Structure 1
Amino acid sequence: MIKRRVTWLALAMLALSAGFLLWQLKGPTGFILTLRGTKLATLIMVGAATGAATILFQTVAANQLLTPGLVGFDALYVFLQTLLVFLLGGVGYAAIPAAAGFLAEAGLMILVAVIVFRLLFRNGGADVIRILLTGVILGIMLRGLAELLQRLLDPAEFSVVQQASFASFSAVSPAQLAITGTALAIALFLCARMAPRLDVAALGRPVARGLGLDYDRLIMQALALVAALVAISTALVGPLTFLGLLAASLARELVPTHRHAWLIPAAALTGALILVAGQFVFERLLGQQSTLSVIVEFFGGLLFIALIFRRRTL
């Protein structure tokens, strides 16, 4: 039953991808397919990375309310964009090679994430309030620094920061896609290798250690993968705070199992489906270009609030 449901998710992803590429295909087909293929690959990679990362993060934190985006990745991304424009100017920022800028941003976010995660989960992930408060405080601090730098920019440079601060799936280069695809494939392979041990870790630290699992080492390995997955997706298109929560929650409903060998691919496929389906509706059917990230964040935020109230009433 579980295998069949994951297979149906994969088939739905293939059918939706075909529709995204071929819907009302007119004019210079080669050029149009190249543009659509690049955007489709971006949507799939970002959705898959975010969905898989959220399942890992929730397992480590032993809480299905949490998502890596709550730890301040969006604020860190905006601060980095603002700092680059402040130091280099609008012209210098635009002159940064796409691949080099992507690698630098992703590397810095991975480093910061690993440090923050190590501090947060040093004594386990049971203290959810501490994790959330740390993420909120970190986000406020980085947003404050970003706003301070933005006040020192001239209007033209401020518009560059504003444009770079929102998730966009249209300005991705083939070099960035190649780097992201390679990193994502390696990370998902490591997730698959780690899945049986994650099943044991989900039982809790005392039980997992009693069964012979090196729990602390596994947690740090999982957090390193979370940091890598979230960093590459954020550096590629920008922040999508609640996409992971949507993908993980829907995946748990569609594939009701505790086995990470099925949960991780289900969440990756669900995240990709959300983005591709949303982009298809807004771009192909409604003729919109920039509303997907806003809608995803809106519904993700509503889901987060609903899950909180659901936990309080149980």
Structure 2
Amino acid sequence: MQKNKLFLLGIGLVISIILFMTVNANGQWSFVLSFRGEKLIALLVVAYAISVSTILFQTLTANQILTPYIMGFDSIYVLIQTGLVFLLGGIGYATLGAYTKFSLEVVLMLIVAFLLFSSLFSSSQKDLYRLVLTGVILGVLFRSTNSFLQRMIDPEEFSVVQSVSFAQFNVIKTALLLPSSVIVLLVSLVIWRLQHVLDVISLGREQAINLGVNYRKTLMLVLCLIAILVSISTALVGPVTFFGLLVSGITYAVFRTYEHRILIPASFLIGAISLILGQVIFEHVIGFKGVLSIVIEFLGGIVFIIFLLKRKAL
């Protein structure tokens, strides 16, 4: 039954890709396929990184409301952009090489994640709650620091910061596709080898330890993998707070299972179909008269409120 659902989602993804590559494809096909192909790969990488990182984070925290962004990754990204503009100026920021800027973003976000995770101990379940609380506090700190720096920079340079403070699916940094794809592929291989261990971890800390899982080591490894995926997706398109929550909510509703061999590909397929079809609609149906990221955040926010109300009712 689950495999049939995955098969249908696979067909849906193929249809979405065909529509994305062919709708209003005027001009020479060599240019169309090259231009849209790069954008398609970027959307697939972003969909995979956000969807899978959310599923893994919810497995570790045993909570389907939480997402990696609760750790303040979106705030870290915006703070990095503001800091670069503050130090280099608008012109210096604009002339900064794509690979240099990408490397700085990923490395800095990983350093913050490492400092956060290494300060935690996995000797009790409370540490995960401390992780979440620490992430909320750091998110407030990063946003406050970011607001302070934005008030100090030139108003013209502020527009540069504002332009990169929101997710942009229309202008994806396709120049960064090669390193991003390689990193995501390597991370995916590690995650796939851990799929059965993740199934055991979803049972709870005590049960996982009793079944022979090195809980602390696995926890730190998976958290670092999550940090890498979130860093890649944020560096490619910018911060997307609720997309992962939206995808995971649909995934758990359709696939009522905790087997990661099902959840991981299912979340990717749902996320990819959502982004690709959404981009087709906004580009070719309504003609860029809306922004896909805003609709995603709106729907994700509604899902978040629904989850909160359900937990309160329980």
How big is each residue's C-alpha offset from its partner over 1:224-245, in whole Å with a ceiling of 9 and x where there is no partner? 1101110110011100011111
Equivalent AA in structure 2 for residue 255 of structure 1: F
Identify which range, 163-172 or 10-19, moves more after superposition. Answer: 163-172
Note if 1:100 corresponds to 2:93: no
Residue 117 of structure 1, CA deviation = 3.3
Unaligned runs of 5+ in 1: none
Q: After TM superposition, give the deviation of residue 126 of structure 1 in Å.
A: 4.8
Deviation at residue 123 of structure 1 after TM alignment: 4.5
Does structure 2 conserve the Cα–Cα contact (< 8 Å) formed by 1:48 and 1:270?
A: no
Q: Tell me which moved more, 174-183 or 70-79.
A: 174-183
**Helix, strand or coil: the match of 2:10?**
helix
Tell me which amino acid in the other structure corresponds to 1:32: V
Match of 2:62 in 1: 62
1:36 equivalent to 2:53? Answer no
> In the TM superposition, what is the alpha-carbon distance from 1:154 to its structure 2 partner?
1.4
Aligned to 1:223: 223
Q: One-letter code of the match for 2:224? A: A
Aligned length, in residue pairs: 314
How far did 1:190 drift?
1.1
Find the counterpart in structure 2 of residue 260 from structure 1.
260
Deviation at 1:193, TM superposition (A): 0.4
Quote the residue 2:24 is aligned against: 24
Root-mean-square deviation (CA, aligned residues, Å) is 1.8
Secondary structure of the structure 2 residue equivalent to 1:113 = helix
Q: Specify whether residues 128 and 303 from structure 1 end up closer, same or farther in structure 2 by C-alpha distance, changes over 3 A only.
A: farther
Moved more, 111-120 or 291-300: 111-120
Q: TM-score, normalised by structure 1?
A: 0.94
Note the C-alpha offset of 1:130.
4.3
Please state whether the residue corresponding to 1:212 is helix, strand or coil: coil
> Aligned equivalents of 1:33 and 1:16: distance in 2?
15
Retained in 1: the 8 A contact 2:71–2:136?
yes
Q: 1:125: Cα distance to partner?
A: 4.9
Which residue does 1:274 correspond to in 2?
Answer: 274
Q: What corresponds to 1:10 in structure 2?
A: 10
Give the conservation status (yes or no) of the 8 Å contact 2:169–2:279. no
Amino acid aligned to 2:58 = Q
| Deviation of 1:276 (Å) | 1.2
Q: Distance in 2 between matches of 1:269 and 1:127?
A: 32
Cα deviation, 1:161-186, whole Å, max 9, x if unaligned, reads 11111111344444400111111111
Matches of 1:125 and 1:246, distance apart in 2: 26
- Between the aligned partners of 2:31 and 2:131, the Cα distance in structure 1 is 46
Counterparts in 2 of 1:121 and 1:299: CA distance versus 1, 3 Å: farther
Residue pairs, 1:138-149, within 5 angstroms: 138-149=138-149
Q: Structure 1 residue 35: deviation in Å?
A: 2.3
1:169 match: secondary structure: coil
Partners of 1:282 and 1:288 within 8 A in 2: yes
Give the secondary-structure state (helix, strand or coil) at the position aligned to 1:70.
helix
1:55 maps to amino acid: I
Counterpart in the other structure of 1:182: 182
Residue identity (%)? 43
Alignment partner, residue 52 of structure 1: 52
CA apart distance, 1:128 = 6.7
Instruction: Please say if 1:137 is aligned against 2:100.
Output: no
2:283 aligns with 283
Which residue is 1:111 aligned to?
Answer: 111
Q: CA 1:173 to 1:122, structure 2 compared with 1: closer, same or farther past 3 Å? A: same
Alpha carbons of 1:264 and 1:41: their partners in 2 closer, same or farther (altered >3 Å)?
Answer: same
Q: CA offset at residue 52 of structure 1?
A: 0.4
TM score, norm. by length of structure 2 = 0.94
What is the rounded CA distance, in whole Å, between the counterparts of 2:126 and 2:290 in structure 1?
A: 38
SS at match of 2:27: coil
8 Å contact from structure 1 (residues 48, 268) kept in 2: yes
Change (3 A) 1:246 1:188: same
Q: Is the 8 A contact 1:60 1:125 kept in 2?
A: no
Once the two structures are superposed, residues 190-219 of structure 1 have per-residue CA deviations (whole angstroms, 9 ceiling, x without a partner) of 111000011111111111111111111111
Alpha-carbon separation, structure 1, partners of 2:215 and 2:6 = 28
Q: Is the 8 A contact 2:80 2:105 kept in 1?
A: yes
